[in-house]
């Protein structure tokens, strides 16, 4: 077992993880542009050169962090979509998850969707991002199969649903849409009207 940095020269055995945790803390506290790689190392209690043993550069660390965000969002979406009465309800729940996640974690939202990272540069990150989309696409496919949605190109339906959720998430995650993270009634109203709008667009009849 390695010696802790405060008492010796080596960090514990899982610095990669510790760096990601430190980075997430700084992301929440200071936003995407508000911290440096040196800050991350500082918070993790290692020298500013140590992160380079675990990540190729700062962008790689940010991609890994975004990958975690994508995976969490995917899991939350999948859990919310499952066990609903039908694809329409699943879509409403997915919208709710998107909005709440964005409002409660604006920094991570901006990191994931604000064009800060290039997910394609990292296989894991790209896969995690694609998996988020897959949940949405799965809901669309299920709706088409049971005849709940308009018989159009699934990709077309997914695009409009995705655009709307994406836009709402970024608006909610920035100061542009002034929602109070604790005002449940307001959040519910936003979820309802936006989800309703998507459903009007893609539901049959």
Interface residue list for its own copies (CB under 8 A): 32-33, 110, 113-116, 118-120, 152, 156, 159-160, 162-171, 173-177, 189-190, 193-194, 196-198, 200-202
Q: What one-character DSSP code corresponds to residue 175?
A: T
47: contact with DNA by CB under 7 A: yes
Residue 159 interacts with, from DNA, its own copies, none (CB under 5-8 Å by kind): its own copies
| Distance of alpha carbon 62 from alpha carbon 27, whole angstroms | 10
Pick between residue 102 and residue 117 the one whose CB is nearest to DNA.
117
38: contact with DNA by CB under 7 A: yes
15: contact with DNA by CB under 7 A: yes
Partners of residue 149 on adjacent β-strands: 203
| Distance of alpha carbon 131 from alpha carbon 113, whole angstroms | 14
Pick between residue 15 and residue 94 the one whose CB is nearest to its own copies.
94
Q: Which two tokens stand for residue 106?
A: 């604006």
| Distance of alpha carbon 129 from alpha carbon 20, whole angstroms | 18
118: contact with DNA by CB under 7 A: no
76 vs 80, 82, 126, 135, CA distance in Å? 6, 10, 18, 10
Tell the burial category of 196 from Cβ atoms under 10 Å away from its Cβ (0-12, 13-18, 19+). Answer: middle
123: contact with DNA by CB under 7 A: no
145: contact with DNA by CB under 7 A: no
39: contact with DNA by CB under 7 A: yes
- Which span sits near DNA by CB under 7 A: 9-17, 102-110, 140-148, 186-194? 9-17
| Distance of alpha carbon 61 from alpha carbon 39, whole angstroms | 13
Coil, strand or helix at 149: strand
Pick between residue 13 and residue 167 the one whose CB is nearest to DNA.
13
Pick between residue 43 and residue 177 the one whose CB is nearest to its own copies.
177
Residues that bind DNA (CB under 7 A): 2, 5, 9-11, 15, 36-39, 41, 46-50, 52-54, 57-59
């Amino acid at each position: 077992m390695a010696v802790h940095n405060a008492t010796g020269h080596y960090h514990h055995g899982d610095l990669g993880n510790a760096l990601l945790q430190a980075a997430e803390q700084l992301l929440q506290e200071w936003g995407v542009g508000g911290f440096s790689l040196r800050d991350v190392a500082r918070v993790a209690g290692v020298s500013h050169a140590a992160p380079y043993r675990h990540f190729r550069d700062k962008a790689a660390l940010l991609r890994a962090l975004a990958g975690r965000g994508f995976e969490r969002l995917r899991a939350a979406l999948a859990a919310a979509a499952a066990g609903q009465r039908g694809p329409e309800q699943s879509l409403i729940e997915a919208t709710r998850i998107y909005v709440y996640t964005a409002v409660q974690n604006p920094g991570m939202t901006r990191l994931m969707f604000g064009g800060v990272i290039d997910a394609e540069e990292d296989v894991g990150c790209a896969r995690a991002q694609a998996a988020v989309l897959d949940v949405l696409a799965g809901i669309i496919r299920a709706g088409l199969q049971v005849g709940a949605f308009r018989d159009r190109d699934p990709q077309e339906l997914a695009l409009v649903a995705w655009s709307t959720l994406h836009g709402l998430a970024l608006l909610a995650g920035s100061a542009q849409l002034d929602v109070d993270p604790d005002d449940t009634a307001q959040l519910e109203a936003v979820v309802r009207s936006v989800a309703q709008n998507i459903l009007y667009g893609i539901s049959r009849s």
